Structure 1
Amino acid sequence: MSWKERLDNPTLSVWPHDYLRPHAEPFVEQGTYSISIPQLSGDYATLLAAWTALLYRVTGDDDIVLYVRDNKVLRFTITPELTFTQLQNKINEQLAELANVEGTNFDALSESLQKESGLERPPQLFRIACVTEDLQLDRYTHSPLDIGLQLHESSSDVSIVFNKLLFSQDRITILADQLTLFLTSVLQNAKQVFTKVSLITDSSTSILPDPKANLDWCGFVGCIHDIFQDNAEKFPERTCVVETPPINSTKTRTFTYKDINEASNIVAHYLINTGIKRGDVVMIYSSRGVDLMVCVMGVLKAGATFSVIDPAYPPARQTIYLGVAKPKGLIVIRAAGQLDQLVEDYITKELDLVSRIPSIAIQDNGTVEGGSLPSESGDVLASYTELKSTRTGVVVGPDSNPTLSFTSGSEGIPKGVLGRHFSLAYYFSWMAKQFNLSENDKFTMLSGIAHDPIQRDMFTPLFLGAQLYVPTQDDIGTPGRLAEWMGKYGCTVTHLTPAMGQLLTAQAVTPFPKLHHAFFVGDILTKRDCLRLQTLAENCCIVNMYGTTETQRAVSYFEVTSRSQDPHFLKKLKDVMPAGRGMKNVQLLVVNRNDRTQVCGVGEIGEIYVRAGGLAEGYRGLPDLNKEKFVNNWFVEEGHWNYLDKDLEAPWKEFWQGPRDRLYRTGDLGRYLPNGDCECCGRADDQVKIRGFRIELGEIDTNISQHPLVRENITLVRNNLEGEKCLVTYMVPRFDKPELENFKIEVPSNISDDPVVCGLIGYSPFTKDLKAFLKKRLASYAIPSLIIVLPKLPLNPNGKVDKPKLQFPTVKQLELVAKNSSIDINDSEFNQQEREIRDLWLECLPTKPTSISPEDSFFDLGGHSILATKMIFTVKKQLNVELPLGTIFKYPTIKAFAAEVSRLKSTDKIEEETTALTADYASDAASLIDTLPKSYPAARALGSPSEMAGPTTVNIFVTGVTGFLGSFILSDILNRTVTGVNFKIFAHVRAADETSGLDRIRKAGTVYGTWKEEYANSLQVVIGDLSKKNFGLTDDKWSHLSETIDIIIHNGALVHWVYPYSKLRNANVVSTINIMNLASEGKPKLFNFVSSTSVLDTNHYFELSDKLQQSGKEGIPESDDLMGSSLGLTSGYGQSKWAAEHIIRAAGKRGLRGSIIRPGYVTGASYNGSSNTDDFLLRFLKSAVQLGKIPDINNTVNMVPVDQVARVVVAASINPPCGDDLCVVHVNAHPRIIFKDYLYELKNYGYDVEIENYEQWKKTLEEAVIERSEDNALFPLLHMVLGDLEDSTKAPELDDKNAITSLRADIEWTNEDRTKGMGATPEQIGIYISFLESVGFLPHPKHFGDKALPNIKISEQQKELVASGAGARSSSAA
Structure 2
Amino acid sequence: MDEAMRQRFAGLGDKLRSSLPPYMVPSLFIPLRAMLFNTSMKMDRQALRLLCPESAVEASQFVLGQRVAFEAPADELEAGLRQLWAQVLRIANKEISVLDNFYDLGGDSIRIVTLNKLVRKAHNVTLTVRQMSSRTITIRSLAELIRAECEGAPVRAAPAVDLMAEVAAVMGALPVDSDGPLAANPVTELPDGATILLTGATGYLGTEILKQLLRSGRKVIALVRATSPAHGLERIKRSAQIAGWWDEDADATRVEVWPGDLAHARLGLDETSWARLCGNAGVSGAVDAVVHNGAVVNWNADFSMLRAANVQSTADLLGAVAASPRSAKLVYISGGLTGDTQTDRAATAAQMAAGGNGYAQTKFLAESIVHEVAVSRLPEPHNRISTVKPGMIIGGAGGVCNIDDYIWRVVAASVSVRAFPEEPADHWMPIASVETVAGAAVSQLAASGAVKSFVDLQSVGLPAKAFWEILNEELGIACRPVSWSSWMELVSEQMIDLNEAHPLWPHGEIAVNDREVAAVQWSLQYLLKIGFITLVPGEFGTVSADAMAR
Q: TM-score, normalised on structure 2?
A: 0.79
Task: Check 1:1217–1:1138 CA distance in 2 against 1; reply closer, same or farther (3 A cut).
Answer: farther
Q: What is the match of residue 232 of structure 1?
A: none
Selected match of 2:297 from 1055, 1058, 1078: 1055
Q: What is the match of residue 1088 of structure 1?
A: 331
Whether the aligned pair in 1 keeps the contact of 2:428 and 2:461 (CA below 8 Å) is no
Q: Does 1:926 align with 2:168?
A: yes
Distance in 2, Cα, partners of 1:971 & 1:1137: 25
Q: Does 1:776 align with 2:68?
A: yes
Q: What is the match of residue 349 of structure 2?
A: 1126
Deviations 1:59-112 (A, max 9, x none): 9x997959xxxxxx99559999xxxxxxxxxxxxxxxxxxxxxxxxxxxxxxxx
Distance in 2, Cα, partners of 1:1331 & 1:1084: 42
Distance in 2, Cα, partners of 1:1252 & 1:1006: 39
Selected match of 2:116 from 866, 872, 879: 872
* Distance apart, 1:1087 and its partner CA: 1.6
Alignment gaps of 5+ in structure 2: 25-30, 280-285
Whether the aligned pair in 2 keeps the contact of 1:717 and 1:728 (CA below 8 Å) is no
Selected match of 1:1209 from 424, 435, 441: 441
Q: Does 1:966 align with 2:206?
A: yes
Amino acid corresponding to residue 445 of structure 2 in structure 1: S
Deviations 1:722-769 (A, max 9, x none): xxx75358xxxxxxxxxxxxxxxxxxxxxxxxxxxxxxxxxxxxxxxx
Amino acid corresponding to residue 447 of structure 2 in structure 1: N
Whether the aligned pair in 1 keeps the contact of 2:266 and 2:316 (CA below 8 Å) is yes
Q: What is the match of residue 548 of structure 2?
A: 1367
Distance in 2, Cα, partners of 1:971 & 1:841: 42
Q: What is the match of residue 1266 of structure 1?
A: 496
Q: Does 1:1238 align with 2:467?
A: yes
Whether the aligned pair in 1 keeps the contact of 2:83 and 2:93 (CA below 8 Å) is no
Q: What is the match of residue 480 of structure 2?
A: 1250
Q: Does 1:898 align with 2:180?
A: no
Q: Residues 158-173 of structure 1: matches in 2 within 5 Å?
A: none
* Distance apart, 1:1051 and its partner CA: 0.8
Q: Does 1:1147 align with 2:370?
A: no
Amino acid corresponding to residue 1005 of structure 1 in structure 2: A
Q: Residues 490-639 of structure 1: matches in 2 within 5 Å?
A: 605-609=34-38
Q: What is the match of residue 1000 of structure 1?
A: 235
Whether the aligned pair in 2 keeps the contact of 1:941 and 1:1086 (CA below 8 Å) is no
* Distance apart, 1:964 and its partner CA: 0.9
Q: Residues 979-998 of structure 1: matches in 2 within 5 Å?
A: 982-998=217-233
Whether the aligned pair in 2 keeps the contact of 1:1046 and 1:1086 (CA below 8 Å) is yes
Deviations 1:1117-1168 (A, max 9, x none): x972533311122121110011112222333323493211111111111x12
Distance in 1, Cα, partners of 2:98 & 2:90: 19
Normalized per residue, which structure has more helix? 2
* Distance apart, 1:1054 and its partner CA: 0.7
Distance in 1, Cα, partners of 2:448 & 2:521: 34
Task: Check 1:1216–1:928 CA distance in 2 against 1; reply closer, same or farther (3 A cut).
Answer: farther
Distance in 2, Cα, partners of 1:895 & 1:1003: 42
Distance in 2, Cα, partners of 1:1249 & 1:868: 32
Task: Check 1:717–1:1029 CA distance in 2 against 1; reply closer, same or farther (3 A cut).
Answer: closer
Q: Which has the larger radius of gyration?
A: 1
Task: Check 1:1121–1:1021 CA distance in 2 against 1; reply closer, same or farther (3 A cut).
Answer: farther
Selected match of 2:52 from 671, 687, 690: 687
Distance in 2, Cα, partners of 1:1027 & 1:852: 27
RCO higher in structure (CA 8 A, sep ≥6): 2
Selected match of 1:1135 from 337, 340, 361: 361
Deviations 1:85-141 (A, max 9, x none): xxxxxxxxxxxxxxxxxxxxxxxxxxxxxxxxxxxxxxxxxxxxxxxxxxxxxxxxx
Whether the aligned pair in 2 keeps the contact of 1:1028 and 1:1074 (CA below 8 Å) is no
Amino acid corresponding to residue 937 of structure 1 in structure 2: P
Q: What is the match of residue 1193 of structure 1?
A: 423
* Distance apart, 1:1189 and its partner CA: 2.7
Task: Check 1:964–1:21 CA distance in 2 against 1; reply closer, same or farther (3 A cut).
Answer: closer
Q: Secondary structure at the match of 1:930?
A: helix
Q: What is the match of residue 1224 of structure 1?
A: 454
Task: Check 1:1143–1:1237 CA distance in 2 against 1; reply closer, same or farther (3 A cut).
Answer: same
Q: Secondary structure at the match of 1:1057?
A: coil
Whether the aligned pair in 1 keeps the contact of 2:262 and 2:313 (CA below 8 Å) is yes
Q: Does 1:1076 align with 2:321?
A: no
Task: Check 1:1249–1:893 CA distance in 2 against 1; reply closer, same or farther (3 A cut).
Answer: same
Task: Check 1:1005–1:1229 CA distance in 2 against 1; reply closer, same or farther (3 A cut).
Answer: farther
Deviations 1:1077-1131 (A, max 9, x none): 2212332122211111x234xxxx6xxxxxxxxxxxxxx5x97253331112212
Whether the aligned pair in 2 keeps the contact of 1:959 and 1:1052 (CA below 8 Å) is yes
**1169-1178 or 1192-1201, which deviates more:** 1192-1201
* Distance apart, 1:895 and its partner CA: 1.6
Distance in 2, Cα, partners of 1:906 & 1:1155: 51
Q: What is the match of residue 1011 of structure 1?
A: 246
Whether the aligned pair in 1 keeps the contact of 2:310 and 2:362 (CA below 8 Å) is yes
Selected match of 2:520 from 1325, 1345, 1349: 1325
Q: Does 1:1275 align with 2:470?
A: no
Q: Residues 335-346 of structure 1: matches in 2 within 5 Å?
A: none
Q: What is the match of residue 27 of structure 2?
A: none
Deviations 1:334-391 (A, max 9, x none): xxxxxxxxxxxxxxxxxxxxxxxxxxxxxxxxxxxxxxxxxxxxxxxxxxxxxxxxxx
Amino acid corresponding to residue 1081 of structure 1 in structure 2: S
Q: Secondary structure at the match of 2:93?
A: coil
Amino acid corresponding to residue 1055 of structure 1 in structure 2: V
Normalized per residue, which structure has more strand? 1
Whether the aligned pair in 2 keeps the contact of 1:989 and 1:1021 (CA below 8 Å) is yes
Distance in 2, Cα, partners of 1:834 & 1:1201: 48
* Distance apart, 1:1064 and its partner CA: 0.6
Distance in 2, Cα, partners of 1:79 & 1:1272: 32
Deviations 1:230-254 (A, max 9, x none): xxxxxxxxxxxxxxxxxxxxxxxxx
Q: Secondary structure at the match of 2:162?
A: helix
Amino acid corresponding to residue 1171 of structure 1 in structure 2: C
Whether the aligned pair in 2 keeps the contact of 1:1199 and 1:1319 (CA below 8 Å) is no
Amino acid corresponding to residue 1156 of structure 1 in structure 2: T
Whether the aligned pair in 2 keeps the contact of 1:1046 and 1:1083 (CA below 8 Å) is yes
* Distance apart, 1:842 and its partner CA: 7.9
Task: Check 1:1150–1:1269 CA distance in 2 against 1; reply closer, same or farther (3 A cut).
Answer: closer
Whether the aligned pair in 1 keeps the contact of 2:389 and 2:454 (CA below 8 Å) is yes
Q: What is the match of residue 60 of structure 2?
A: 727
Identity %: 23
Task: Check 1:967–1:861 CA distance in 2 against 1; reply closer, same or farther (3 A cut).
Answer: closer
* Distance apart, 1:1186 and its partner CA: 2.5
* Distance apart, 1:1259 and its partner CA: 1.7
Q: Secondary structure at the match of 2:278?
A: helix
Amino acid corresponding to residue 304 of structure 2 in structure 1: S
Whether the aligned pair in 1 keeps the contact of 2:419 and 2:480 (CA below 8 Å) is yes
- How many residues align? The count is 513
Q: Secondary structure at the match of 2:234?
A: helix
Q: Secondary structure at the match of 2:181?
A: coil
Q: Residues 313-462 of structure 1: matches in 2 within 5 Å?
A: none
Amino acid corresponding to residue 199 of structure 2 in structure 1: T
Q: What is the match of residue 129 of structure 2?
A: 885
Alignment gaps of 5+ in structure 1: 1-13, 15-19, 24-54, 67-72, 81-575, 579-602, 610-632, 636-662, 669-682, 689-715, 720-724, 730-769, 781-825, 977-981, 1102-1115, 1282-1292, 1294-1315, 1343-1359, 1370-1374
Deviations 1:683-732 (A, max 9, x none): 444234xxxxxxxxxxxxxxxxxxxxxxxxxxx8465xxxxx75358xxx
Distance in 2, Cα, partners of 1:851 & 1:665: 34
Whether the aligned pair in 2 keeps the contact of 1:886 and 1:1058 (CA below 8 Å) is yes
Task: Check 1:1183–1:856 CA distance in 2 against 1; reply closer, same or farther (3 A cut).
Answer: same
Distance in 1, Cα, partners of 2:287 & 2:494: 53
Distance in 2, Cα, partners of 1:994 & 1:1150: 36
Whether the aligned pair in 1 keeps the contact of 2:266 and 2:274 (CA below 8 Å) is yes
Distance in 1, Cα, partners of 2:131 & 2:366: 25
